[in-house]
Structure 1
Amino acid sequence: MAAMKASVSRSARDGAINQIKTAMIEKKLTQAELADASDCHEKTIQNLLGGRSVRDQTLFDVCMVLGLDFDQLKHAWNGGGNSPNTPPELLGEGGGVVAPLYMGAYTRAAVDHYIGSYLTLRSAFSRPDLIIAYRTDIVWDPDWPSLLFQETDRPDAPYSHRGRLYIPSSSMFIHLVSLTKGAMRMIVVSQVDRFGEMRGIITTIHKQGALLVPVATPIVYAKRENFDSDLGNITPESPFYEEYRKMLDETISEGYARLMT
């Protein structure tokens, strides 16, 4: 009987465990690193991921590190599945269809037009004449109801980001946010237009010599069905350079972003 009870307990907690594992992958945290950031022993994290009982304080600390909703995770951890505050009509067969309130409480139906693949352009931080072109995929994540973005085909692949879209209802701009070990990168762009484009600014940290300094530059997302166009480091000699440079320059000249000096 005891073994059956433990099995049921683990099964009931699978949803919460999957949320924790997904967030660990997004933030590139090992069990040891999560334990260190949560101020607990690595064995405690192993117990957590194994579905064994842990203190509420441990759950809370892990949620703070991973950016998870403590009340929702605790409810799922205790076998409750979806949050009791979520009306049934806001849940689909494949999971939630409404993003958390702190992300804008947007519904999947309202943001379906964001889903797709985008040509992504920005200037290189070390060489303003060099344009970095890569691909960004935006999908709906039913397990953590929200839009999820993933960068691919970057020339500096180890620095590719994965994060969430925050869409306030009262703004013309949205936020693409990634958080790794306390380091946050934010991209603020216009809502996707009828041409499938979003324009704005990226703010992040860039290494200059031995120092890390804050930097900002215009960024453009242009939805594409295929990626036959050139990606990677685009130099002035590239046949795509003038087209890409024009898109970035228009981001400033048309008022999507402003760089103050």
Structure 2
Amino acid sequence: MKASISSSGREAVLTQIKTAMIEKKLTQAELADAADCHEKTIQNLLGGRSVRDQTLFDVCMVLDLDFEKLKRTWTGSDGTSPNELAGGDGGVVAPVYMGAYTRAGVDHYIGSYLTLRPSFSKPGTITAYRTDVTWDPEWPSLLFQERDRPDAPYSHRGRLYIPASSMFIHLVSLTKGAMRMVVVSQLDRFGEMRGIITTLHKHGAMLLPVATPIVYARRDEFTGPFGDINEALPCYAEYRKILNETVEQGYARLVPP
């Protein structure tokens, strides 16, 4: 059972998307290219027809719109899943292939995290952004979403895989066959997860595989800047120390060729 589409909500979402396109001076073809989808998909979206959540998410990242808010408005959903209304356990237990974890067992992961990693393209620079972790009752599992990245169109959204017999967890995003995986330690008493990220980085005209240490630090509020952090900023020394400790303390090991 899925929430029915709200006509008024759909029109409100389309108005926001079209306004954002005008503000950013983007054509349908340019938006499709930036969101990595076919122009026909954008035409379907702007025509009020149903598209995949991933497509709506990618469009929101390009246009700097709030995906979760627009999705709720589009569907007219109040955020309560049919599973929860029925009182069944379908909405509180993740699939076996994701670790079969229960919502009660992973509630402590839900929240917002300062995310730090070295910049892929600027030596000596640290990239800082925000990652939100929520529970998705429609597909029972923890969901992560990146926000405030300096390269917003490349923000990722995916699932948390938590094996019962490992000290590490996996943040996996999969889009059109392209997979990115982050392997980090389970959340510790300091509210931190440390490990390594493997992904593709656009270097000139090419996409190259890269791997580097990454840290998620739980925050109730954010005071420092996001984006590319260089030595001129006061928070740089603290961020560099956190990343250095990730390797020094054995959370990640980069093996030279």
- Match of residue 75 from structure 1: none
Check if 1:112 corresponds to 2:107. yes
List aligned pairs for 1:139-150, cutoff 5 A: 139-150=134-145
The secondary structure found in structure 2 opposite 1:128 is coil
- Match of residue 187 from structure 2: 192
Check if 1:172 corresponds to 2:160. no
Q: 1:171: Cα distance to partner?
A: 0.5
Aligned partner of 2:153 among 146, 155, 158? 158
Q: 1:128: Cα distance to partner?
A: 2.9
The secondary structure found in structure 2 opposite 1:247 is helix
Q: 1:211: Cα distance to partner?
A: 1.7
Aligned partner of 1:125 among 88, 97, 120? 120
- Distance between the aligned counterparts of 2:132 and 2:237, measured in 1? 24
Check 1:235–1:167 CA distance in 2 against 1; reply closer, same or farther (3 A cut).
same
CA offsets 1:54-99 (integer angstroms, 9 cap, x no match): xxxxxxxxxxxxxxxxxxxxxxxxxxx87xxxxx7524xxxx1000
CA offsets 1:121-175 (integer angstroms, 9 cap, x no match): 0000112300000000000000100000010111111111111000011110000
Show structure 1 runs of 4+ deviating over 4 A. 27-33
- Distance between the aligned counterparts of 1:117 and 1:168, measured in 2? 22
- Match of residue 247 from structure 1: 242
The secondary structure found in structure 2 opposite 1:109 is helix
List aligned pairs for 1:1-261, cutoff 5 A: 14=2, 90-91=89-90, 96-261=91-256
Check 1:31–1:175 CA distance in 2 against 1; reply closer, same or farther (3 A cut).
farther
Check 1:159–1:166 CA distance in 2 against 1; reply closer, same or farther (3 A cut).
same
Check 1:28–1:211 CA distance in 2 against 1; reply closer, same or farther (3 A cut).
closer
- Distance between the aligned counterparts of 1:145 and 1:257, measured in 2? 29
Asked if structure 2 preserves the Cα contact closer than 8 Å seen for 1:204 and 1:216, the reply is: yes
Check 1:139–1:29 CA distance in 2 against 1; reply closer, same or farther (3 A cut).
farther
- Match of residue 22 from structure 1: none
**Residues 143-152 or 125-134, more deviating:** 125-134
Check 1:171–1:232 CA distance in 2 against 1; reply closer, same or farther (3 A cut).
same
- Distance between the aligned counterparts of 2:99 and 2:137, measured in 1? 16
The secondary structure found in structure 2 opposite 1:236 is coil
Structure 1 vs Structure 2: percent identity of aligned residues? 68
CA offsets 1:19-68 (integer angstroms, 9 cap, x no match): xxxxxxxx9766956xxxxxxxx9xxx99x69xxxxxxxxxxxxxxxxxx
- Distance between the aligned counterparts of 2:207 and 2:143, measured in 1? 27
* Number of aligned positions between the proteins: 191
The AA in structure 1 aligned to 2:143 is L
- Distance between the aligned counterparts of 1:120 and 1:126, measured in 2? 17
RMSD, aligned CA: 2.7
